[in-house]
Structure 1
Amino acid sequence: MADPLLFRWQAVSNEGQLQQGAFFCLHRHEAMERLVALELLPLKLTAGRRYRASDWKWQDKIIFFRQLATLLKAGMTLSDSLQLTGEGHREPGWQALLGHIQQRVTEGMPFSQALADWPTVFPALFPALMAVGELTGQLDECCLQLARQQERQQQLQKKVIKALRYPVFVLAIALLVSIGMLLFVLPEFIAIYQTFDAPLPLFTAAIISLSTGIQRYGLLLLAILFTALYCWRWKSRHSPDWQRWQQRLLLKLPLIGELYRGGQLSRIFTTLALTQQAGLTLLQSLQAVEKTLSQRLWREAIADLQQHISGGYPLHQALSGHLLFTPLCSQLITVGEEAGSLDSMLSRLGELYDNATHERADNLAAALEPLMMVITGGIVGTLVIAMYLPVFNLGNALG
């Protein structure tokens, strides 16, 4: 689905009443046709911002389903709940979206289908769970479970990103400081040293050569760096083999690899447990999980599991020996399948990896803080020593 535009409109009805509102369309012509189909005479039509997938924040989705669950539990109808939630939202985009969904529901379309028409906003897991809620008459409970699951996943994802972002940020600052010293501070010392006819220490001479090289070839190196980053981003988006290689490399990194694996396994098993408890079949649950994953390597792994399940094999056998899944996954799922409590074992696995990943993220941040300080101090200290080392021989040079 293309990124839609938010159009605000004012129109007159057949009864002569002035009406106004907003809805999403791809272009102005489609918006005009929509107003005519509603038997409205357009007076004003203004195109607003274009909404992309990144504009639909996870926090708003979680709040929406929590509010919807609360209103449904209070006894309100789905249509009235959607109308009340949409009118009370602070974002114009969400107001228009929920108004559109409420209109579809009023016309008789299932809520799950209305959500499925917006795949950039609601991933496949959302309409799948809502369909189960509609069949079982427990739509409010499904909304609440979905909100809780998404909230846990977002908290875990934020913690993992924060733990991985910290060392990169510190190293970037250290490199910027070092480059600044090489480009602006060291040349002033070089001018002082050149006034004395004395040989420089080898260490200082090497740092001066590095500074001279950066000044001479800095723009070329910067252009090469930006070109390499652009090629890396392009290949990351368009090359499946490159994506697989990156994700396999990430799994092999010390500390970070286990953190990355734990985050993915937590998402997979938490979603599987949620869909199993809601009443979906195991194959349907795996299909929903596959569409919620953004990493190609993990999506392909879930697709392989679906093929095994379709062939009549149990889940634990499909997981056994798989490179992405740990032996614990196969062991606990074997127990769950034999005891007839697969959903509880999946939930247990999700909790285990969620807790383990939170703990690893905290430990990684705690371990990297002193390490990054040592690295930063080492880089800056090396430059300071290189600049002041000739000063110790300055007395001999003057003599």
Structure 2
Amino acid sequence: MAEFAYRGRNSGGELVFGVLDGPSSSAVADQLFSTGITPVHIAVASAPPPKAGELKLGFGARKIGLSDLMLFCRQLHTLLKAGVPIVRALAGLQESSQHPELKRVVGDVREKLEAGQELSLGMSAHPQVFSPFIVNMVRVGELTGRLDQIFMRLYEFLAFEKKVGDDVRGALRYPITVICAVTVAVFIVNIFVIPAFAKMFTSLKADLPLITRVLMGTSDFVVNFWPFMLVGLAAAGYGFRLYVRTADGRLRWDTLKVRLPLAGSLLYKAALARFSRSFALAGNSGVPIVQTLSLAANVVENAWLGARILGMREGIERGESVLRTAVGAGVFDALTLQMVAVGEETGEMNALMSEIA
């Protein structure tokens, strides 16, 4: 039994509020109706503050990752395909889940279903767990009556997303490790090695080449000001993080990322793979192409590429062909454009986009 805070109006139209115990929000609503109160808002009551000695810190709590969502979609597909009602399926997943946060989210979605809301609406209340793409795909499944198929396709999409992410991280791990090792080595050389040679050269009182004098001056600067350098680097990193959280900063950074010498090509291909896969999934599920492009723009995880995809949507809304808008976007290579042209001519756009991914 949980405590639910409610607001409602009695038979005289007066606003009333309070707290009731109940197994779910729908049960609390039934209690209120039986007493002549029409509920306006029902929510789980805030937990009381912990007593002395019972304070628990939330550090180290595991977030809901792609693997957890994959398991959730696969299990829900299996239960729905077996004919289990959606509320009962969610209750079973809530009980069997080993992830505390996912258990809480699934429980909240189930309660919203019991209160008469749609599944997609209940999932949209947790944007940190269910992305707009997942919510919209579930909404399509509700409208078409193919929720079980939608969850299987979402499982496949999330598995592909996890593979792309693992491949990108694996490819970037070595160069990042090398850069970090070189940075540490340069720091050690400037702090410990060059000063030792500088003392020897100073005692010899010999004329040193320009490059040697530059190295010694650089080492002296690092030795004398390294604490300020570390503070400056930390401040610059913090300022950069704040900047890229803005719309303009995110757009500029994402534009720069795909133009980096080595990693840029990899990040660009990964973004295009996400676009192609999400386009194929949404198209095969019956989502109109305009809405499909809107969903795909959010999936690519790149503001610059997302803006170009939204530009394609605007062109299609004006009546232009997919190929013409793709050429105008300027983000697709010749092979991709050729596949788009063939797919548009044959009506097999979704299948070819899946092949591109």
* TM-score over 0.5 for the pair: yes
Gaps of 5+ in 2: 6-17, 33-44, 51-55
Alignment of 1:288-327 (within 5 A): 288-327=295-334
- Distance in 1 between the 2:115 and 2:204 partners? 91
Asked if 1 retains the 8 angstrom alpha-carbon contact of 2:80 and 2:148, the reply is yes
Alignment of 1:116-155 (within 5 A): 116-155=124-163
Which residue does the alignment assign to 2:115? 107
- Distance in 2 between the 1:33 and 1:315 partners? 55
* 1:121/1:326 CA distance change after superposition, 3 Å: same
Shift of 1:166: 2.6
Shift of 1:50: 7.2
Shift of 1:295: 2.1
- Distance in 1 between the 2:169 and 2:90 partners? 33
Shift of 1:191: 4.3
Q: Is the aligned partner of 1:170 residue 2:216?
A: no
Secondary structure in 1 matching 2:83: coil
Asked if 2 retains the 8 angstrom alpha-carbon contact of 1:317 and 1:330, the reply is no
Secondary structure in 2 matching 1:252: coil
320-329 or 123-132: bigger deviation = 320-329
- Distance in 1 between the 2:326 and 2:99 partners? 43
Selected match of 2:67 from 59, 62, 69: 59
Which residue does the alignment assign to 1:158? 166
- Distance in 2 between the 1:270 and 1:126 partners? 13
Which residue does the alignment assign to 2:256? 249
- Distance in 1 between the 2:135 and 2:57 partners? 26
1:182-202 Cα shifts (integer Å, max 9, x gaps): 2134434444555x5452753
Please tell me the residue identity of whatever aligns with 1:313: E
Secondary structure in 1 matching 2:301: coil
Please tell me the residue identity of whatever aligns with 2:242: W
* 1:110/1:295 CA distance change after superposition, 3 Å: same
Asked if 2 retains the 8 angstrom alpha-carbon contact of 1:62 and 1:147, the reply is yes
1:50-104 Cα shifts (integer Å, max 9, x gaps): 79xx933222111111111112222221111111111111122211211111122
Asked if 2 retains the 8 angstrom alpha-carbon contact of 1:65 and 1:144, the reply is yes
* 1:258/1:193 CA distance change after superposition, 3 Å: closer
Asked if 2 retains the 8 angstrom alpha-carbon contact of 1:156 and 1:263, the reply is yes
- Distance in 1 between the 2:347 and 2:197 partners? 76
- Distance in 1 between the 2:237 and 2:213 partners? 31
Alignment of 1:67-106 (within 5 A): 67-106=75-114
Alignment of 1:216-231 (within 5 A): 216-231=224-239
* 1:245/1:134 CA distance change after superposition, 3 Å: closer
Shift of 1:230: 2.8
Q: Is the aligned partner of 1:345 residue 2:352?
A: yes
- Distance in 1 between the 2:295 and 2:141 partners? 15
Which residue does the alignment assign to 2:53? none
Question: What TM-score, normalized to structure 2?
Answer: 0.79
Q: Across the two proteins, how many residue pairs are aligned to each other? A: 319
Note the aligned Cα RMSD (angstroms). 3.0
Asked if 1 retains the 8 angstrom alpha-carbon contact of 2:4 and 2:20, the reply is no
* 1:347/1:99 CA distance change after superposition, 3 Å: same
- Distance in 1 between the 2:57 and 2:286 partners? 39
- Distance in 2 between the 1:49 and 1:343 partners? 48
Percent identity between the aligned chains? 24
Shift of 1:144: 0.9
* 1:98/1:130 CA distance change after superposition, 3 Å: same
Please tell me the residue identity of whatever aligns with 1:275: A
Which structure's relative contact order is higher, taking Cα pairs within 8 Å and 6+ residues apart? Answer: 1
1:311-369 Cα shifts (integer Å, max 9, x gaps): 1112111001422222322221121111121211221222xxxxxxxxxxxxxxxxxxx
Shift of 1:179: 1.2
- Distance in 1 between the 2:298 and 2:216 partners? 54
- Distance in 2 between the 1:86 and 1:104 partners? 14
Q: Is the aligned partner of 1:274 residue 2:281?
A: yes
Asked if 2 retains the 8 angstrom alpha-carbon contact of 1:316 and 1:333, the reply is yes
Please tell me the residue identity of whatever aligns with 2:284: Q
Asked if 2 retains the 8 angstrom alpha-carbon contact of 1:261 and 1:324, the reply is no
Gaps of 5+ in 1: 1-18, 24-31, 351-399
* 1:332/1:172 CA distance change after superposition, 3 Å: same
* 1:49/1:102 CA distance change after superposition, 3 Å: farther
Please tell me the residue identity of whatever aligns with 2:237: L
Structure in which a larger fraction of residues adopt helix: 1
* 1:65/1:223 CA distance change after superposition, 3 Å: same
Asked if 2 retains the 8 angstrom alpha-carbon contact of 1:65 and 1:146, the reply is yes
Asked if 2 retains the 8 angstrom alpha-carbon contact of 1:271 and 1:289, the reply is yes
Secondary structure in 1 matching 2:293: helix
- Distance in 2 between the 1:229 and 1:275 partners? 38
Please tell me the residue identity of whatever aligns with 1:264: A
- Distance in 1 between the 2:247 and 2:316 partners? 29
* 1:75/1:46 CA distance change after superposition, 3 Å: farther
* 1:169/1:135 CA distance change after superposition, 3 Å: same
- Distance in 1 between the 2:101 and 2:57 partners? 9
